[in-house]
Structure 1
Amino acid sequence: MDEVLSQNEIDALLSAITSGEMDAEELKKEEKEKKVRVYDFKRALRFSKDQIRSISRIHENYARLLTTFFSSQLRTYVDINVTSVDQIPFEEFIRSIPKITVLNIYSVAPLDGRLVMEINPNIAYALLDRILGGKGNTISKSSSLTEIEKLLLNQIFEKGIECLREAWESVADIDPILEEFEENPQFIQMVSPNETVVVVSLTTVIGETSGMINICIPHVILEPIISKLSAHYWMQATEKDQNPETYEKISKHLKNTQVEVKSILGETNVSIQEFLQLSKDDVISLNQPIDQPLKFLVNDKLKFYVQPGKFKNKLSVQILEEYKGVNENDE
């Protein structure tokens, strides 16, 4: 993409041409000459912008699910949002995270490879403090986590695996399993240092503590489903054949849905003065002719015309015809 100049740069360029510091003809010659663009093969971009946007959509959903999960588990204010989605070499990701941090390594069968979730120490310690009955404040400690602290963190992130599965089900049915728990990123050797990975950064707030959760996804995981990360796939998803089992389940639930039905014997309008003067044995005339069918309403919407009667010694109505018009609420 061509570089866009700011207004100050445009003004400076025009001023230089006007004063003679720059020659317009020389600029034209430079434009015609072939320009060499430096390309770093160590930072090969293997995902298109369209695919990056799809990955961002998946993890925006994951952030919402994780927010709900942590809020219910910790009983405190939690807010998680996607900040950025970038593709970088794996080595650069390892260098960007603290030397002592919390690293969850997940397998995502049936996809190959493993993804890494890096939880900033501020967030990890706030989680621990809240789980142990505190207010969710972060703890300043230079030593490693104890075995009990590791176990507690493992338990809460194992419970949160369902959020990851649900967020990904739009493109792949995965079965995430928390395989390893590490604190030192130098011990992680999942892919080669130059391998391209997608890093999804989530800004996380727990109570008054804020920090980052970074999810590192190697290219090898996304390669089998790369076609499903295009906008064309997302647009066509709604046109796919529906699952018969899902359709049957929805139909079954709909058949058991309770609705309110009522028949209107008649209606009328009276003034406040007339209402206040009503007394015993007064007769109120309704606007319903005795030879006309009654209205039958379902959830306050006219659906049928009926006639009153008795069935097994109970007041009942018999349906005469279906109402073919359009209800006002439907317009």
Structure 2
Amino acid sequence: MSQVLSQEEIDALLGGLEEVTAEEAGGPAEPEGDVVPYDFVNFTRMTKIKLPAFDVINDQFNRGLRNTLSGILRLMVESAVVPPEVITFKEFLRRLPVPSNLHILKMEPFRGHVLLSVDSPLVFTVVEIFLGSTSFGQARIEGREFTSIEQRMIRRVVNALMADMERAWAPVHPVKFLYERSEINPQFAKIAADDDAVIISRFQLDMEEVSGAISICIPMLTLQPIKAKLQSAYQHEEAEDPVWRHRLLHNLRQAEVDVVVPLGAARLTGSELLDLSVGDIIQLDTPVDGTLVALVEDRPKLLGHPGIYRGQRAFKVAEFMREEEP
């Protein structure tokens, strides 16, 4: 037997259908809380990868880059590290002008290549300095390709930077950079697929009145074997300062220490001590030809024998004592 619905129940059902229809017409509900839309097309833009060890590598390379360029160009070069970013390789190529000074390097023992880009103002400034010019930034840059002489001159700088890169990577993971070729058209410098994620390290340089940047593009797939190392909190050792080391050694050599050479020891009773008088002899526990121990700041350091040197009592060192491990 079918149940007959009342008018109120029919109205309630029709009202629910109207609410559902309104929700469908209005589209999806707004996300609540911390929920944000995910961009599947440009997912690399949203990727925030923390690589502490990679930051250390950039800092080390920036220090070497500054010193190397200052030494080669014989002028003061200021450099600063721009925080690295992860983008698609297609987007990186889109940022490069034509012509560009691009250098493709092999990063052994990893698979894949590294792309090093030098801004055109820096290239022409380096060439002007090598050719003896005293005024920088006068060369016309727009639309002009690099000559073979300019390419050879900038190659000299790139070779020096490759050595700096190897030194910067050595504490984290030893690598070897090999020069492959140079390109001026970004379309011919394909070291990764367009949609592959790459990490970009950028170093801003200022010398005299000219400024520019050196960029290093590394595919994330190339760094995949050492991703755990790069993500770890790496504590790098500071580069040794020769001036500080010289001052430290100088101060250590000038420091004074107390050196005591005990001739021996003896045990006396209280009565024997009270009976002592001038001229009495106390027999020590050290033989006449026995070895004595020299104490440096109350710590045994030397073995030797007593004697006389230039009319004064002396101690001849026979052996250095090794400090026992605790």
CA 1:136–1:177: 2 relative to 1, 3 Å: farther
User: Which string of whole-angstrom CA distances, capped at 9 and with x for unpartnered residues, describes residues 146-177 of structure 1?
Assistant: 11111111122113321000111122211101
Q: What's the counterpart of residue 204 of structure 2?
A: 203
Matched residue of 1:173: which SS? coil
Give the root-mean-square deviation of aligned CA atoms.
Answer: 4.2
Tell me whether 1:59 sits opposite 2:58 in the alignment. yes
Contact 1:86–1:199, Cα closer than 8 Å, also in 2:
yes
Spell out, residue by residue over 1:8-60, the C-alpha distance to the aligned partner (whole angstroms, 9 max, x if none): xxxxxxxxxxxxxxxxxxxxx96759966141334336965322x43222111
Label 1:70 to 1:136 Cα distance change in 2 as closer, same or farther (>3 A): farther
Partner of 1:213: helix, strand, or coil? strand
Which one-letter code corresponds to 1:310 in the other structure?
I
Aligned residues: 245
CA offset at residue 219 of structure 1?
A: 1.3
Give distance in 1, aligned partners of 2:62 and 2:34.
Answer: 46
Distance 1:66 1:73 in 2: 11
TM (norm. structure 2) is: 0.63
**Whole-angstrom CA distance in 1 between matches of 2:67 and 2:49:** 29
CA gap of 1:296–1:132, structure 2 versus 1, over 3 A, is farther
Shift of 1:127: 1.2
Residue 140 of structure 2 aligns with which residue?
A: 140
The aligned runs of 1:70-219 (5 Å cut-off) are: 70-135=69-134, 137-138=136-137, 139-141=139-141, 142-219=143-220
Shift of 1:97: 1.4
Which amino acid in the other structure matches residue 192 of structure 1? Answer: A
Paired residues of 1:43 and 1:194 also in contact (CA < 8 A): no
Give the secondary structure class of the aligned counterpart of 2:81: strand
Letter in 1 for 2:85: D
Q: Deviations over 1:103-131 (max 9, x none)?
A: 11110111111111111101111111112
CA distance 1:36–1:136, change in 2 (3 Å): same
CA contact (8 A) 2:62 2:203 kept: yes
Q: Aligned pair in 2 of structure 1 residues 315, 46: CA closer, same or farther (>3 Å)?
A: farther
> Contact 2:53–2:172 at 8 Å: present in 1 too?
no
Q: 1:263 to 1:176 in 2, by over 3 A?
A: closer
Q: Distance in 1 between matches of 2:73 and 2:295?
A: 50
Say if 1:126 and 1:206, in contact at 8 Å, map to a contact too.
no
| Structure of greater Rg | 2
- Please give the TM-score of this superposition, normalised by the length of structure 1: 0.62
Q: Partners of 1:120 and 1:156 in 2: how far apart? A: 13
Look up the equivalent residue of 1:67 and give its one-letter code: R
* 1:43 corresponding residue in structure 2: 43
Identity %: 22
Shift of 1:228: 0.4
Gaps in structure 1 of 5+ consecutive residues: 1-28, 239-257, 266-294, 323-331
Distance in 1 of aligned mates of 2:110 and 2:196: 17
* SS at structure 1 position matched to 2:111: coil
Q: Show CA shifts across 1:192-248 (max 9, x none).
A: 11110011111111222111111111112111110101235x26x89xxxxxxxxxx
Name the amino acid aligned to 1:49.
I
Distance 1:226 1:48, change over 3 A: farther
For residues 33 and 221 of structure 1, do their structure 2 counterparts lie closer, same or farther at Cα, with a shift above 3 Å needed?
A: closer
Q: How many Å separate the matches in 1 of 2:257 and 2:188? A: 74
1:310 to 302, 308, 311: 308
Sort the Cα spacing of 1:35 and 1:318 in 2 relative to 1 into closer, same or farther, 3 A.
closer
Distance 2:176 2:37 in 1: 43
Q: Which amino acid aligns with 2:44?
A: A
Contact 1:106 1:177 in 2 (8 A): yes
Distance in 2 between the 1:263 and 1:87 partners? 57
Question: How far does the alpha carbon of each residue in 1:32-91 deviate from its partner, in whole angstroms, 9 at most, with x for none?
Answer: 59966141334336965322x432221111011111111111110111111121100100
CA shift in 2, pair 1:214/1:262, >3 Å: closer
Alpha-carbon distance between aligned partners in 1 of 2:315 and 2:61, rounded to the nearest angstrom: 52
